[in-house]
Structure 1
Amino acid sequence: MSTYPDSESVTFVTAGGLAPRRTEVVPWLTLVALSAAHLAVDCCTGIWPVFKSLAQLDLVKAGLIATVGSMTANGLQVVFGTLADRSWRKHLLVGGTALAGAITLVPYAGSYALMFALQLVTALGSAAFHPAGAGAAGEVSRSRTGVMLGIFLAGGFLGYGFSQLLFSAVYLRSSRLTPVILVIPFAAAAALAMLLPSTPITKPVGSHRKQAFGAQAPGLLPLFGVQVFATTIFQALVFLLPELMASRQAPGWITNGGAHFGLVAGGSLALLPAGYSADHWGARRVLMVGNAATGLLLALLLAGSAPPIMALVLVTAYGLFNGVNTVVTVAEGNRLLPGHASAVSSLLMGVPWCIGAIGSVAAGALAGPSHGGSPTVALTWLGLAIPLALVSAVLVRPRGNVTPPSLDAPRCDC
């Protein structure tokens, strides 16, 4: 049973069982609010990589801050996902959106310790928001889970893509003006507070949850593997992208956010087609194609012969094919475990991002010039994660006879 069904009739659990009750929730308006909040949150989470370049921070220390903050916060996504499925969804969405803006204060930090504290608060806000938001979006429509998640994720990709361009534009004008960016997450949090229902529908029983996860573990493990390996190299690429573009003598607009925007914009273009394709033809096929393409594109990017504009095109194409992973794996996970949407989202988004965060510190260490490293060398080694992601995609369980769902077909919430 979904939290935000296709009509305005919502089923609540009562002492005597299930009873219909009318609400004034408009599912599509809810989905738009969730996507806008995702934009606001990820508009803040993308700031640290470009700030470390603008402020000329030590790569190893900056990588350590990114990795420890991300691993700590995303490791808690399993807890946040469980809380979201147990009546805390709205609190996590509103609070997480507001907390995500902490990183906009980083120019005022006078030490690495304070920078870490601000990065950690932003990471915690993001970790609180994502499983709750993905769970809510995925439950808007049971028959079109991939498309609903695609719309939700598109907001995040848009915000993540513009994050570095927006921050660097404000920072280069005056580093003291960056707190004005706080208006975006605060406004989104206020909108969520007004538009979201106060109480989720279902409260999964703990023993039932464990039994369900245990039964579906063989199907979830390959999806988890795809996300871990793909996320590791993606985080490393995001972290080193300014330095990689600078090493290619790219103009400032590419180095200070343009390449990052291309990477994320490419990913956003993949969301709806990937969700639609997975709904029709199965997750395994889409994941295999996406990860095979990312391996080829990363090799071409690191070959070093492409001029800056062509490198930007390759980065965008990499983002396009890498973008299929999250929407397809989370949608497939929701199909395997209906009724546990936020927990599934935390397992297939939060935990992989927690593990994959090691990519940032590894990239910083391998690229450090004091050790004779470079961005190209670092990404070449870490790019070995892509073949492992492809192997995991091959192991994803085929869905058998996948029939395209009719957009007008009635949905059963049984």
Structure 2
Amino acid sequence: MNDPKAGFAGAETLGGGASRRRALLAACGAHAVHDGLTDLVYVLLPVWQAQFAIGYATVGLLRGAYSGAMAGFQLLASRLAGRWGRKRMLVGGTALAGAAYLLAGQAGGLAVLLLALTLGGLGASVQHPLASSLVADSHQAGDASRQALAQYNFAGDIGKTLIPALTGLLLTVAGWRLGVSLMGLLGLAAAACLWRLVPDGPPAVTGKPAAARATGRGTRGGLRALLATGAIDSAARMGFLTFLPFLLRSKGAGAAGIGLALSLLFVGGAFGKLFCGYLGARIGMVRTVWLTEGATALLIAASLALPLVGAMAMLPLLGLALNGTSSVLYGTVAELAEPAGRDHAFALFYTGTIGGGALSPVLFGRLGDAAGVPTAMLALAVFLLLTLPLSSRVGRDLGQ
């Protein structure tokens, strides 16, 4: 039977080599599939816009439905895992995400598509809080835990790279309905694999309790500033990703080119998470955020001016800066939060960041309808600069 309490803050560090490997493999697999299915929406938005004759605000609503449901139910998912078990929630959520894509593949109208994306977001809501806590609980605190979480974050970007690219290629030889349905079957297959991989209960406890090894040192102000930094960073990232396919299409890219562009962006993002985690350890969280967010704002502005070939060539570097910040912010949550409230702090952080990402496409989509995509993207770049003073406030709690 599942241990209802496994995976929550204050749990002791878990050992056992085979169980650790299984837990990390399950978490990485779940992250790859869920992040791939989540970001697949970006490839499909231009297709759905043409299919259903909708404006940019409605496009933002479709993207926001998925992200909003995912953000809004993460705290509830953590609570339900305490009652039903983490394994059942992870498997059930992954199966629901797959079934939602099967439904989207059959959508004959906007209402069914909106319902499918909302259900997909509900299924995806379980992954971040439960899979990350699975990794944290199965590895010792300190370097082992940080390295395992870095692998977990990297796996998510691998999914973002492969699944949108594969679907983009499918769109060149088959209809979008078939491609979306196949991705739904992938989600169901992943759920079956998770049922076999996720440990039923915690492995043997080794070492000292986590609470004895680490103490939070943040204030409420520092945690709030960190949450605001993460929300703005996510909002700018999701807004940029929403508009990028339309920007590329205006420069002459087709469906396959858009899929390739997103893959280039996500490859850069995957390495950015690893690189910026190392960079943050070397120069500190504040300097890293100033470097990555400043570079992101400049590169977003450059993408508007460059021709298609130049913009495509720049995307890996933009992805490195765009996604690299999140790796530094995730690690800071554990440094600021008290051990007993760490699970809750992570859930709040994920909810705030994904919530910011859900609102951004809708709000900036309206600006795109009124003033055009380039103006909306430039506004995103300026908005991103708000993270600079906020990160400095966090740095005071970290002694930076």
- Aligned counterpart, 1:346: 347
- Aligned counterpart, 1:161: 161
The answer to whether the 8 Å contact 2:70/2:354 transfers is no
Alignment of 1:118-137 (within 5 A): 118-137=116-135
Counterpart amino acid of residue 141 in structure 2: R
Choose which of 385, 390, 393 in structure 2 pairs with 1:395.
Answer: 393
2: distance between equivalents of 1:3 and 1:258?
A: 43
2: distance between equivalents of 1:108 and 1:291?
A: 40
2: distance between equivalents of 1:290 and 1:117?
A: 36
2: distance between equivalents of 1:175 and 1:318?
A: 28
- Aligned counterpart, 2:221: 218
**Mean CA deviation greater in 184-193 or 86-95:** 86-95
Choose which of 92, 96, 102 in structure 1 pairs with 2:93.
Answer: 96
Instruction: State the 1:105 CA deviation.
Output: 3.6
- Aligned counterpart, 1:263: 265
2: distance between equivalents of 1:247 and 1:391?
A: 35
1: distance between equivalents of 2:85 and 2:343?
A: 11
- Aligned counterpart, 1:229: 232
**Alpha-carbon displacement from aligned partner over 1:246-277 (angstroms, at most 9, x marks no partner):** 1122354322x122212222111112222234
Residue 335 (str. 1) matches residue 320 (str. 2): no
Residue 33 (str. 1) matches residue 20 (str. 2): no
The answer to whether the 8 Å contact 2:101/2:184 transfers is no
Change (3 A) 1:166 1:340: farther
1: distance between equivalents of 2:157 and 2:72?
A: 21
Alignment of 1:14-163 (within 5 A): 25-55=18-48, 56=50, 57=52, 58=54, 59-84=56-81, 88-101=85-98, 102-139=100-137, 140-144=139-143, 145-163=145-163
Aligned residues: 372
Change (3 A) 1:76 1:390: same
2: distance between equivalents of 1:95 and 1:342?
A: 21
The answer to whether the 8 Å contact 1:146/1:275 transfers is no
Choose which of 284, 287, 290 in structure 2 pairs with 1:285.
Answer: 287
Change (3 A) 1:99 1:341: farther
Find the residue that maps to 2:301 and give its secondary structure: helix
**Alpha-carbon displacement from aligned partner over 1:316-337 (angstroms, at most 9, x marks no partner):** 2121012222222222212333
**Alpha-carbon displacement from aligned partner over 1:109-158 (angstroms, at most 9, x marks no partner):** 01111101110111111111111112222342311243222211111111
**Alpha-carbon displacement from aligned partner over 1:272-307 (angstroms, at most 9, x marks no partner):** 2222343455423322222122122112222x1x22
2: distance between equivalents of 1:327 and 1:105?
A: 33
Counterpart amino acid of residue 63 in structure 1: G
2: distance between equivalents of 1:41 and 1:220?
A: 27
- Aligned counterpart, 1:364: 365
2: distance between equivalents of 1:253 and 1:104?
A: 22
The answer to whether the 8 Å contact 1:274/1:286 transfers is yes
Q: Percent identity?
A: 24
Find the residue that maps to 2:361 and give its secondary structure: helix
Change (3 A) 1:258 1:374: farther
The answer to whether the 8 Å contact 2:91/2:192 transfers is yes
What 5-or-longer segments of structure 1 have no aligned partner? 9-23, 203-207, 403-414
Find the residue that maps to 2:302 and give its secondary structure: helix
- Aligned counterpart, 1:14: none
- Aligned counterpart, 1:405: none
1: distance between equivalents of 2:64 and 2:46?
A: 16
Counterpart amino acid of residue 187 in structure 1: A
2: distance between equivalents of 1:285 and 1:86?
A: 41
1: distance between equivalents of 2:33 and 2:298?
A: 32
Alignment of 1:293-308 (within 5 A): 293-302=295-304, 304=305, 306-308=306-308
**TM-score (norm: length of structure 2):** 0.84
Change (3 A) 1:273 1:198: same
Counterpart amino acid of residue 88 in structure 1: G
Higher helix share: 2
2: distance between equivalents of 1:71 and 1:176?
A: 24
The answer to whether the 8 Å contact 1:219/1:396 transfers is yes
Change (3 A) 1:327 1:263: same
Counterpart amino acid of residue 160 in structure 2: Y
- Aligned counterpart, 1:412: none
Counterpart amino acid of residue 169 in structure 1: L
Instruction: State the 1:3 CA deviation.
Output: 5.9
Kindly report the root-mean-square deviation, in angstroms, between the aligned alpha carbons of the 2 structures: 2.8
What 5-or-longer segments of structure 2 have no aligned partner? 1-9, 206-210
The answer to whether the 8 Å contact 1:277/1:286 transfers is yes
Change (3 A) 1:318 1:216: same
**Mean CA deviation greater in 333-342 or 153-162:** 333-342
